[in-house]
Amino acid sequence: MSVKILTGTHYMLGDHACAEGAIAAGCRFFAGYPITPATEIAEWISIRLPKFGGVYIQMEDELASMAAVIGASCGGLKSMTATSGPGFSLMVENIGLAVMMEVPCVVVNIQRGAPSTGLPTLVGQADVMQAKWGSHGDYEIVAYAPASCQEMFDLTIEAFNTAERYRIPVIILSDEAVGHLREKVVIPEEKAIKLIERKKPDVSPEEYIPYKTNGDLVPPMAIAGEGYFVHMTGLTHDERGYPAISGEAHEKLVRRLIDKIQKNRGDIIKFEEIETDDADILIVSYGITARSSLKAVQILRKEKIKAGLLRLITIWPFPYEKIEEYAKKVSKIVVAEINSGQVRGEVLKAIKNDLPVIGVHKLGGDLITPYEIVEKIKED
């Protein structure tokens, strides 16, 4: 009898929900190295993935893990790894390689207190800018920020779909509190889960040109070993995949890598708006801190203060247009996040007036409480 995904209602750890989301999305290769607070993803998927014919490998380090994920994806398998801040730092060079070679894969970062070894067992949200700019050069990235165990499942599927659609690495930018939270997770029947597969060549091997896009910015991806010519390199390359060391070739290639995300912002960016129709004060938050922010909105509403919440589900690309829209309607924006103000800086970039943008920040280890948000709003 064939093995099936764990459909139904479960009381599940966030990290385990992520692993189950990967399996439901069709992930059949995982390479990683243990690190708190992401280890539970590797532990769970090491047991579950082989039952579906998948492969789990514990690599010698995070550099090798990311290289293995890229290789497996080139071989046709949906592939993933999971880590936390120090491990993510080691992965970013090869994440850049995946961007340049246009290899779909998913990287999960369960954030903890940082920098360096920091607070391995405690919560943080300070890898936002690293997710965007961790590798070198000009490129775009997609990063999702789950706020619940259910979203750890749902957004992992979304991450694989986005990776396959655009041939890109996609980041799940979660945090220790969500990763180690236990709550209800509903897993639907397999037929109800929408999956997107990478676009394959529709021409013969003799006609196939590896990076020819046919005008839609995303080239079809041939699988190594299926008879098609495959040539991939981190060097600037032409449509054949051969190195093309010129400014003109570089401009053409990198512009396309950027455009395939930026020109699809409307399809990629996701957010949730709560009590925002008549809001005078807008709270912007994400991940576990969005849950405190929601409670703060409820407290303020009971006191007749018109607060609303914009919960960022997609951190990157950043929803500048939506922030600018709210900046024309509210009297202040409050950004709550467990770092020194990384998303607050992006909010400031988005607004075109002198609207106050207030930060409620901690540097990792402790959650921001609803009452700290309420107090900050009242004192300002």
Residue 347 is predicted with a pLDDT of 98
Domains delineated in the chain: 8-192 (3.40.50.970), 273-379 (3.40.50.920)
DSSP string over 156-205: HHHHHHHHHHHT-EEEEEEEHHHHT-EEEEEE--GGGS----PPPP-S-T
pLDDT at 203 over 90: yes
Mean pLDDT across 191-198: 98
Residue 73 is predicted with a pLDDT of 98
User: What amino acid is encoded at 282 in this protein?
Assistant: L
- pLDDT tens figures, 215-259: 889 999 999 889 999 999 999 999 999 999 999 999 999 999 999
Please give the backbone phi and psi of residue 168, each rounded to the nearest 5 degrees, phi first. -140, 155
Helix (H) or strand (E) holding 247: helix 247-262
- pLDDT tens figures, 307-344: 999 999 999 999 999 999 999 999 999 999 999 999 99
